[in-house]
Amino acid sequence: MLRSGCLWLLRRRPPAAGVAVKNFGLRKVASGVSTPGSTSPRALNIFDRDLKRKQKNWAARQPEPMKFDYLREEVGSRIADRVYDITRNFSLALDVGCGRGYIAQHLNKETVGKFFQVDIAENALKNILEMEIPTVSVIADEEFLPFRENTFDLVVSSLSLHWVNDLPRALEQIHYVLKPDGVFIGAMFGGDTLYELRCSLQLAETEREGGFSPHVSPFTAVNDLGHLLGRAGFNTLTVDTDEIQVNYPGMFELMEDLQEMYRNEDGSVPATYQIYYMIGWKYHDSQARPAERGSATVSFGDLGKINKLMSQEKKSQ
């Protein structure tokens, strides 16, 4: 099994055995990590990215980081399944906000030739999971990708784009680094995530304080997600939703994971995570195009008669 070669702050270290050193199109920037407090001029600075980096580094330093990785592992495997659904090989792939490599560990070298893994937290990259695909680790912010245009055949991202301040910019940069006919496959938390927690907090705070304030970060609506992908330049879009419910033995286990509390009748504590999965392609002349408006030879009204005609044919037989 190959451990990842490392690229810290865009300065190359010697790669692991079997990993060739090539120029994979890094842009000439001092660092892919944003400076504390920096953000896109058009972004509303909801998240403190420097604090988020510290949180992720702290989590990665814990003695058993895999103890709390079950959700990321599950979503990572489902993104990998979507990669396998595309019947092609990807020479060069990028994981934006990779964490400890939750997607790449489920893929094989027959599907992906080499994986660039990008994360804002250096400790996560130091504790990257073992996998058979040759990898290169890059410390960079999801909002400031340090790669040149048309570099990657595949870009994936699992649950990290939720915490960027400028999601349109992040999607535009992903589109920028994709090659024509390249594909982006990602996952984000949906608007119904942790609704049990949010309802319980609102009820408790309303009862005690006479009102409530938000305690959970905002989520992207599914219809907005499709619009943002289209605005970033992606076409042939697919957006679907899924729900993962985790039942905890009790409140202390849930508080240890999330600092949350809400019980089932059997005493367990549920936490529901709604996941939006998205797929978007970068345009290429070889891709199928929609027919011109007005070129159809059959109307929707005629399609409605098909069942009636089929039933009549069965009766005649």
Structure confidence by residue, pLDDT tens digits, 25-65: 554 433 344 444 445 555 567 778 888 888 888 888 877 76
Region of 311 on the Ramachandran plot (φ > 0 left; ψ -120 to 50 alpha; else beta): alpha
Question: Is residue 112 in a domain?
Answer: yes
Write out the residue range of the structural domain in which residue 107 sits.
Answer: 49-191+219-247+275-282
Residue of higher predicted confidence among 305 and 116: 116
Torsion of CA 71, 72, 75, 77, to 10 degrees: -110
Chain mean pLDDT for the chain: 77
Question: Is residue 289 in a domain?
Answer: no
Question: Is residue 71 in a domain?
Answer: yes
Question: Is residue 23 in a domain?
Answer: no
In the predicted structure, residue 89 carries a pLDDT above the cut 90 = yes
The span from the CA of 42 to the CA of 58, in Å, is 30
Question: Is residue 254 in a domain?
Answer: no
For residues 138-144, give the mean pLDDT.
90
Single-letter amino acid, residue 43: A
- Which one of 58-67, 237-246, 253-262 scores highest in mean pLDDT? 237-246
Q: Could you give the percent of the chain with pLDDT greater than 90?
A: 35
Question: Is residue 62 in a domain?
Answer: yes
Single-letter amino acid, residue 216: V
CATH code, domain with 60? 3.40.50.150
Using only the alpha carbons of the chain, give its radius of gyration: 23
Res 247: pLDDT: 77
In the predicted structure, residue 233 carries a pLDDT above the cut 80 = yes
Question: Is residue 156 in a domain?
Answer: yes
Q: 130 near 20, Cβ under 8 Å?
A: no
pTM over 0.75: no
Question: Is residue 183 in a domain?
Answer: yes
Q: pLDDT band for 6, please (50, 70, 90 cuts).
A: very low
State pLDDT tens for residues 178-229. 999 999 999 999 888 877 777 777 777 777 777 766 666 777 888 888 899 9
Q: pLDDT band for 268, please (50, 70, 90 cuts).
A: low
User: How many structural domains is the chain composed of?
Assistant: 1
Q: 220 near 276, Cβ under 8 Å?
A: yes
Res 282: pLDDT: 94
Which uninterrupted H or E stretch holds 135?
strand 135-139
